[in-house]
Structure 1
Amino acid sequence: MSKNIYVGNLPWSATEDEVRAAFAAYGEVTSVKLIEDRETGRPRGFGFVEMSEDGYLDAIEALDGKDFGGRNIKVNEAKPRVERPRW
Structure 2
Amino acid sequence: MKVGFIQCTVISAIFAIAGYLLFSSASFNTHIPLTVSGSLLLSGILTPWLASLLNSTPSSSSESSNSAITETLYVGNLPYRANESAVKEYFGSFTDVQSVRLMKDRKTGKRKGYGFIEVLTDDIETVINKTNDSIFQERTLKVRPAKDKVEHA
Q: Structure 2 matches for 1:39-58, cutoff 5 A?
A: 39-54=107-122, 56-58=124-126
Paired residues of 1:28 and 1:55 also in contact (CA < 8 A)? no
| Residue deviations 1:15-49 (CA, integer Å, cap 9, x gap) | 11111112112221110010000111000000000
Q: Which structure's residues are more often strand, by fraction? A: 1
Structure 2: 5+ residue runs without aligned partners? 1-68
1: distance between equivalents of 2:143 and 2:123?
Answer: 14
Aligned in 2, Cα 1:9/1:27: closer, same or farther, shift over 3 Å? Answer: same
Which of 73, 86, 109 does residue 5 from structure 1 map onto? 73
TM-score, scaled relative to structure 1: 0.87
| Residue deviations 1:33-66 (CA, integer Å, cap 9, x gap) | 1000011100000000001122533221111011
TM-score, scaled relative to structure 2: 0.52
2: distance between equivalents of 1:25 and 1:70?
Answer: 17
Residue equivalent to 1:36: 104
Q: Structure 2 matches for 1:7-86, cutoff 5 A?
A: 7-54=75-122, 56-84=124-152
2: distance between equivalents of 1:65 and 1:32?
Answer: 19
User: Which structure would you say has the larger Rg?
Assistant: 2
2: distance between equivalents of 1:83 and 1:62?
Answer: 31
Higher relative contact order (CA 8 A, sep 6+): 1
Residues paired across the two proteins, number: 85
- Alpha-carbon RMSD: 1.5
Residue equivalent to 2:38: none
1: distance between equivalents of 2:124 and 2:83?
Answer: 20
SS in 2 for 1:11: coil
Structure 1: 5+ residue runs without aligned partners? none
**Identity among equivalent pairs (%):** 38
